[in-house]
């Protein structure tokens, strides 16, 4: 797929609309556990603050530079990201100068790295018509009845139902007819009726009359026609460029005339990247999906197969990253030291900057207000005017709210009401400011929980920095290790036989224990300073009660490799993508005496870990968008 010419805009590190590009889950468990097992949060399209984005014209932002927007944003020190574990000298490099410099391949639960390498339609064991109409031992339907039922299934029966009289009025016979209809004609339901002393089995379409009217105008009603010997879910590999997962699914659902919830996946993926992941959709054929390749932009689907189950969030083993850092300043020796350290020691497993938003109102501020049960502050933080550039309609919305405190008036300023601001205002309009908890509940649960998880993550980052500052990279008495899903406090003797890679730290909650050394007391002091009681993390609203979780302090990537490459044209792609391979396009050729130097690295990470934090350890640079924007603006000038 052709990539547009690069534009001279500030380069952004780890740009992600609310969810990290390499994070598949979040600490939402009601029981403490290893963080790699959490469920996913925040599937919806989100803006840089982690809030669902209102739709509007991008031209509204044209007058503002990204540097203007980011000058009020966060830096790493604001969210507790302070320490490094390696001794090498840091160097500069540009991450995501082009979105094709950041490529992510999902690793499924069997440990296989997914690639888009096959666009063919899978062969089936039997012809569709034969498979659908093949009789079996329990087939009790006549050919005429089958014809009527088939027409009903395809919405061609104007009566809206088919009645089959049961002459042999035994329960066994009626059961056979019920089963035969449901097995051979998916989408039909049955009931038994008695008319004038005669028993009938009545078949009707489960979608009802409303769906009947809608489908009559649809181009492809045969989506309800599904053979028995085929799995109910078509699994496929989705390749996407510069588009987040939910945006891509919304595009697919629009073309297929489906609701987005018909699709399932194992994790969300970054927008500013090229990503490859598995998707499943209910009862849509590979043929229909493959046809979309003719009209999709920056998306491609393939590697089709049919299975009997959908996908679940968090089922994956992780993600494999191929990353290019352009214009590096480090010598070959510095690069060697940095990458060797990453491979052998790893990096601090911080929650990355994507977790916290980028403007003057961080997501963890909202989370803290929720935990304190300060609902007026929650509303104020989400709706009040804020410094820094925003889309014009959001500015108008916030200003109207500040002047009038009228939710309906502020809501009228939004072109689309599905963003957090719109949902909250709609809730306030319906329930009033005296019932903010209920009003806030109109925001989707995942987005509400995102705020308190952001607060947990900020506390974890801060405490881990304290732990490393106090005790360095060795296990000490009072540290925590996991035994199964239970945390255990190390004795001095046990600490001698453990390494720093065994040590976990808790996210605050009501069902975790804390280190018995002074860092454990640090948790208590930090929460107390924020007006929270560490011994009472249960909330009167059950959703906001934090059980807590455990997360490893250090993480070592697997499958680490790297090379320093040189090139002359800054516009060319430096990674051979799946679609380029499918189209037999040649791999990039590098010039040993090229004008520019870049570091091309590969590594794999488990879910709930951040590639940007691994890259931070290599470069020893602040990865916040605010800081990178400042550095890159200077470089571009």
Question: What Å distances lie between residue 613 and 12, 351, 367, 416, 549, CA to CA?
Answer: 14, 8, 23, 34, 20
Angle 570-571-573 from CA coordinates, rounded to 5°: 100
User: Nearest Cα to 232, choosing from 295, 187, 181?
Assistant: 187
CA dist., res. 441 & res. 430, Å (int): 12
Q: Tell me the three state secondary structure of residue 28.
A: coil
Contact residues for 165 (Cβ-Cβ < 8 A; gap 6+): 198, 199, 200
User: Nearest Cα to 432, choosing from 511, 489, 376?
Assistant: 376
Give Cα 465 to chain centroid, integer Å: 27
User: Nearest Cα to 226, choosing from 140, 288, 138?
Assistant: 288
- Bridge partners, residue 505, by sequence: 551
* Annotation marks residue 270 as catalytic: yes
- Structural contact between residues 543 and 446, judged by C-beta atoms closer than 8 angstroms: no
CA dist., res. 113 & res. 101, Å (int): 19
| Number of residues that make up the chain | 637
Angle 99-448-26 from CA coordinates, rounded to 5°: 60
Tokens of 374: 């300060």
- HEC string of 311-362 equals CCCCCCCEEEEEEEEECCCCCHHHHHHHHHHHHHCCEECCCCHHHCCCCCCC
SS3 content of the chain, % helix, strand, coil (to 5): 35, 20, 45
- Structural contact between residues 403 and 358, judged by C-beta atoms closer than 8 angstroms: no
- Structural contact between residues 204 and 232, judged by C-beta atoms closer than 8 angstroms: no
Instruction: Specify burial of residue 497 (Cβ count, 10 A radius: 0-12, 13-18, 19+).
Output: exposed
- Structural contact between residues 598 and 574, judged by C-beta atoms closer than 8 angstroms: yes
Which of 25, 101, 270, 502 is labelled catalytic? 270
Catalytic residue numbers read 270
């Amino acid at each position: 797929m052709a990539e547009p010419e690069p534009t001279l805009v500030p380069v952004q590190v780890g740009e992600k609309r609310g969810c990290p590009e390499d994070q598949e889950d979040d600490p939402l468990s009601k029981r403490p556990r290893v963080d790699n097992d959490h469920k996913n949060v925040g599937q919806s399209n989100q803006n840089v603050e982690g809030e669902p984005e209102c739709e509007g014209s991008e031209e509204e932002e044209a007058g503002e530079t990204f540097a203007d927007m980011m000058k009020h944003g966060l830096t790493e020190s604001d969210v507790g990201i302070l320490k490094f574990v390696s001794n090498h000298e840091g160097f500069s490099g540009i991450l995501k100068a082009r979105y094709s410099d950041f490529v992510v391949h999902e690793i499924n639960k069997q440990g296989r790295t997914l690639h888009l390498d096959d666009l063919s339609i899978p062969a089936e064991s039997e012809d569709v018509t034969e498979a659908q109409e093949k009789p079996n031992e329990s087939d009790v339907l006549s050919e005429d009845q089958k014809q009527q039922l088939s027409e009903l299934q395809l919405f061609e029966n104007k009566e809206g139902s088919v009645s089959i009289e049961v002459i042999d009025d035994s329960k066994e016979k009626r059961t056979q007819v019920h089963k035969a209809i449901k097995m051979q004609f998916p989408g039909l339901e049955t009931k038994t009726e008695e008319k004038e002393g005669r028993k009938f089995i009545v078949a009707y379409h489960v979608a009802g009359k409303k769906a009947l009217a809608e489908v009559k105008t649809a181009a492809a009603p045969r989506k309800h026609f599904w053979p028995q010997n085929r799995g109910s879910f078509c699994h496929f590999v989705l390749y996407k460029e510069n588009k987040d997962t939910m945006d891509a699914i919304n595009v697919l659902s629009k073309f297929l005339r489906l609701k987005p919830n018909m699709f399932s996946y194992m994790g969300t993926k970054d927008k500013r990247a090229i990503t490859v992941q598995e998707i499943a959709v209910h009862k849509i054929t590979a043929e229909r999906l493959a046809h979309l390749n003719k009209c999709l932009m920056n998306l491609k689907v393939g590697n089709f197969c049919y299975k009997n189950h959908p996908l679940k969030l968090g089922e994956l083993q992780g993600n494999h990253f191929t990353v290019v850092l352009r214009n590096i300043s480090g010598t070959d020796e510095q690069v060697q030291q940095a990458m060797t350290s990453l491979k052998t020691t790893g990096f601090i497993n911080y929650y990355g900057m994507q977790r916290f938003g980028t403007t003057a109102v961080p997501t963890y501020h909202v989370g803290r207000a929720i935990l304190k049960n300060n609902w007026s502050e929650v509303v104020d933080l989400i709706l009040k005017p804020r410094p820094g550039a925003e889309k014009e309609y959001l500015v108008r919305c916030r200003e109207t709210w500040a002047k009038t405190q009228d939710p309906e008036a502020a809501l009228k300023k939004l072109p689309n009401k599905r963003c957090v601001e719109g949902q909250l205002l709609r809730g306030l309009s319906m329930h009033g400011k005296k019932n903010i908890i209920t009003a806030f509940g109109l925001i989707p649960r995942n987005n509400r929980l995102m705020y308190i998880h952001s607060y947990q993550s900020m506390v974890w980052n801060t405490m881990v920095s304290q732990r490393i500052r106090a005790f360095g990279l060795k296990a000490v008495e009072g540290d925590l290790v996991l035994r199964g899903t239970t945390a255990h406090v190390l004795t001095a003797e046990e600490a001698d036989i453990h390494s720093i890679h065994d040590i976990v730290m808790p996210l605050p909650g009501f069902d975790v224990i804390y280190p018995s050394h002074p860092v454990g007391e640090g948790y208590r002091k930090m929460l107390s300073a924020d007006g929270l009681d560490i011994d009472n993390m249960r909330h009167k609203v059950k959703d906001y009660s934090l059980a807590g979780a455990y997360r490893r302090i250090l993480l070592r990537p697997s499958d680490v490799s790297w090379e320093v490459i040189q090139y002359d044209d800054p516009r060319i792609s430096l990674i051979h993508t799946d679609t380029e391979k499918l189209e037999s396009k040649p791999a990039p050729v590098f010039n040993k005496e090229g004008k520019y130097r870049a570091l091309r690295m590969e590594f794999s990470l488990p879910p709930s870990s951040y590639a940007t934090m691994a890259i931070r350890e290599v470069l020893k640079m602040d990865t916040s968008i605010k800081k990178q924007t400042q550095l890159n603006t200077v470089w571009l000038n």
